[in-house]
A and B are shown apart, each in its own frame.
Chain A
Amino acid sequence: GAGVSQTPSNKVTEKGKYVELRCDPISGHTALYWYRQSLGQGPEFLIYFQGTGAADDSGLPNDRFFAVRPEGSVSTLKIQRTERGDSAVYLCASSLFLDTEAFFGQGTRLTVV
């Protein structure tokens, strides 16, 4: 596709459930980033992938959060035992290389009820 694609665009889940959020980066982009944006705030860094490996996952808030990028393209952010405080827009971005312009997807709005 032409841009970064995230699915689903909206997800409502019950507290305690498991969710997966998907990101399709721009084809050929080696770097992929996940951010979380709470209402009225700027995005917060979660994790950065270079190729298949998570180069830095220091932004993940706790061990309920995990992300993978097994083939160096599509990435999945996984959240276990969701809590109401996890409600936010989860943004994915990709860039050709580390120091090049990052392009953002439209985000997945996660609501935990």
Chain B
Amino acid sequence: ELKVEQNPLFLSMQEGKNYTIYCNYSTTSDRLYWYRQDPGKSLESLFVLLSNGAVKQEGRLMASLDTKARLSTLHITAAVHDLSATYFCAVEGKRNYQLIWGAGTKLIIKP
């Protein structure tokens, strides 16, 4: 059974600092997603990672995938308050429409 673990589950940091969120998954998968969720809002797709070594960047966020280690990272560079949100990783299960989700990382960035 595919399991997805994120850590940390909660992160409070100062503006301007760098940090990394980790996403481990237990069995082989073809696709990994990162989503952002603000309180009371929709899940917003950030990145889709399709292959080993894939790296994608958008602004201060960069996601990477190591399929051999079954590990994805979401790196935040020089954090700003607007990035405060909960970040989820999700991995395609046996059926590619079934996403298996991590528990989420609640990120609070203090001005």
Contacts and interface: CB of A to CB of B under 8 A. Distances in A.
B98 A98 contact: no
Contact of A98 (B43, B97, B103): B97
Interface residues of B, number: 21
Contacts of A93: 43
A41 B104 contact: yes
Nearest to B6: A42
A1 interface: no
Interface in B72-111: 88, 90, 93, 95-104
Contact of B103 (A31, A33, A41, A106): A41
A55 to B, nearest CB: 8
B98 A48 contact: yes
Contacts of B62: none
A42 B98 contact: no
Contact of A56 (B41, B44, B95, B104): B95
Given A103-B42, A105-B42, 5 more contacts: A42-B101, A45-B98, A45-B99, A103-B45, A107-B42
The 4 closest A-B pairs by CB, nearest first: A42-B101, A104-B43, A104-B42, A45-B98
27 contacts: A4-B42, A33-B97, A40-B103, A41-B103, A42-B4, A42-B88, A42-B101, A42-B102, A42-B104, A43-B88, A43-B90, A45-B93, A45-B99, A48-B97, A56-B97, A56-B98, A91-B43, A98-B96, A98-B97, A101-B45, A101-B48, A102-B45, A103-B42, A103-B45, A104-B43, A105-B42, A106-B42
